[in-house]
């Protein structure tokens, strides 16, 4: 005798309820595995054919070597980065950061014939510390052809890459006197103010002054301090002709501002929503510079990356 429908349905429902749990656990585990797989693939992006620069850059060719300063800034152990300002918990993870990255930068600069400048004396305490990068760049620009600004949560991860080759990769030729004045990278949010180049010129000086003057963007007590938003605002407002002449955007973020890709749901969402941006910006072995933008526990990150570089025997120059 076949059971009446009223008797069968509850059993079916029970069975599907029993299936629901293992199925969702399986889906969850699969997603976890593919997060880890994505992280592994992105970490080896360069080995599987990603190019951060259009040319295997060798500027060379009779031009004078430009005078370049790498400038960074820290506030008595509380180092500067776009996302430090305010937020006790966050800024505490910045404590002592400069000390852990300074050796790396100095060694690279000495090897390549650049100056490294810790501009902490220029800190303006009336604003979140991140804003002082503008003052730091502005005041050292007059002594150099180029200033390369680094937030303190960055490390040189491939010391064989020269800054000239990076400039070459953006400008497309080796005559650095005929070049955009501001060289930046773009991430998911557009232009990033954590790492950039400025060329000594009247345009640059005026631009930096204008940037500093964007006081309405100054933000206290948030993870953002407003300097990056102000930069984006100014660049967005430039007439296209001026923008073309004075602002150079790196063809790939990984040319000099790579972010570690963490297997998190947020990263997964970004990977799906903007795969190309993720691909071009994820930190991979061989990249010139890693930037721990928005990450907590930066000191541990830095220790791990340095250790990793030593093990891969890039360490001799790190
Ligand atoms: C910036 O503000 C100062 C003080 O208000 C002003 O003197 C200067 O001309 C401004 N500079 C630019 C480039 O806007």
Give the architecture (CATH level 2) of 63-317: Alpha-Beta Complex (3.90)
- Please tell me the distance between residue 210's alpha carbon and the centre of ligand 1 in angstroms: 7
> Residue 99 has what pLDDT?
87
Pairing mode of beta strands 115-118, 190-199: unpaired
Of the listed ranges 12-26, 39-53, 277-291, the least confidently predicted one is 12-26
Average pLDDT, the chain: 86
Please indicate whether residue 147 or residue 74 has the higher confidence score (pLDDT). 147
Between 245 and 96, the higher pLDDT residue: 245
- Cα 213 to averaged position of ligand 1 atoms, centre (Å): 6
Residue 186: phi, psi to the nearest 5? Answer: -120, 140
pLDDT digits (tens, 9 = 90+) for 81-91: 544 444 444 44
Give the residues surrounding ligand 1 with Cβ less than 6 Å away. 206, 209-210, 213
| pLDDT more than 90, % of the chain | 59
Residue 144 has pLDDT above 70, yes or no: yes
Mean pLDDT of 250-275: 92
Pocket test for ligand 1, best of 209, 210, 212, 214 (most atoms within 8 A of CB): 209
Question: How far is the C-alpha of 225 from the C-alpha of 241, rounded, in Å?
Answer: 29
Q: Whose CA is nearest to atom 4 of ligand 1?
A: 213
C-alpha of residue 71 to centroid of ligand 1, in Å: 23
Per domain, the residue ranges of the chain are 63-317
The closest-lying atom of ligand 1 relative to the alpha carbon of residue 213 is: 1
Q: Round to whole Å and give the CA distance between 138 and 132.
A: 10
Ligand 1 centroid – CA 145 distance (Å): 24
CA of 214 to the centre of ligand 1 (A): 10
Q: How many CA atoms does the CB half-sphere of 89 hold within 13 Å? A: 5
Query: What residues have CB less than 8 Å from 156, skipping those under 6 apart?
Result: 104, 105, 108, 288, 289, 318
Indicate which atom in ligand 1 lies nearest the CA of residue 209. 13
- Cβ contact 185:192 at 8 Å: yes
Query: SS in 3 state form for 112-163?
Result: HCCEEEECHHHCCCCCCHHHHHHHHHHHHHCCCCEEEEECCCEEECCCCCCH
- CB of 179 closer than 8 Å to CB of 162: no
| C-beta of residue 52 within 8 angstroms of C-beta of residue 287 | yes
């Amino acid at each position: 005798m076949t059971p009446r429908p009223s008797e069968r349905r509850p059993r079916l429902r029970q069975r599907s309820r029993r299936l629901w749990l293992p199925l969702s656990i399986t889906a969850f585990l699969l997603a976890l595995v593919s997060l880890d797989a994505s992280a592994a693939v992105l970490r080896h992006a360069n080995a599987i054919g990603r190019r951060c620069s259009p040319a295997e850059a060798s500027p060379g060719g009779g031009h004078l070597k430009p005078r370049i300063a790498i400038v960074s800034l820290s506030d008595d152990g509380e180092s500067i980065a776009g996302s430090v300002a305010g937020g006790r918990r966050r800024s505490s993870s910045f404590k002592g950061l400069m000390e852990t990255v300074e050796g790396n930068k100095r060694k690279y600069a000495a090897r390549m014939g650049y100056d490294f400048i810790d501009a902490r004396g220029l800190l303006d305490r009336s604003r979140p510390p991140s804003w002082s990068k503008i003052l730091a760049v502005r005041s050292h620009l007059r002594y150099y052809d180029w200033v390369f600004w680094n937030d303190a949560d960055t490390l040189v991860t491939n010391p064989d890459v020269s800054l000239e080759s990076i400039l070459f990769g953006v400008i497309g030729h080796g005559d650095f006197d005929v070049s955009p004045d501001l060289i930046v990278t773009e991430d998911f949010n557009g232009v990033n103010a954590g790492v950039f180049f400025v060329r000594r010129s009247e345009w640059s000086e005026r631009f930096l002054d204008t940037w500093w003057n964007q006081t309405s963007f100054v933000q206290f007590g948030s993870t953002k301090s407003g300097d990056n938003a102000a930069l984006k605002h100014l660049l967005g407002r430039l007439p296209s002709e001026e923008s073309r002449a004075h602002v150079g955007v790196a063809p790939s973020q990984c040319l000099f501002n790579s972010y570690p890709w963490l297997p998190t749901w947020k990263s997964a969402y970004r990977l799906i929503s903007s795969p190309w941006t993720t691909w071009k910006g994820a930190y991979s072995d061989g990249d010139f510079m890693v930037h721990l933008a928005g990450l907590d526990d930066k000191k541990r990150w830095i220790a791990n990356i340095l250790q990793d570089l030593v093990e891969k025997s890039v360490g001799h120059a790190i």
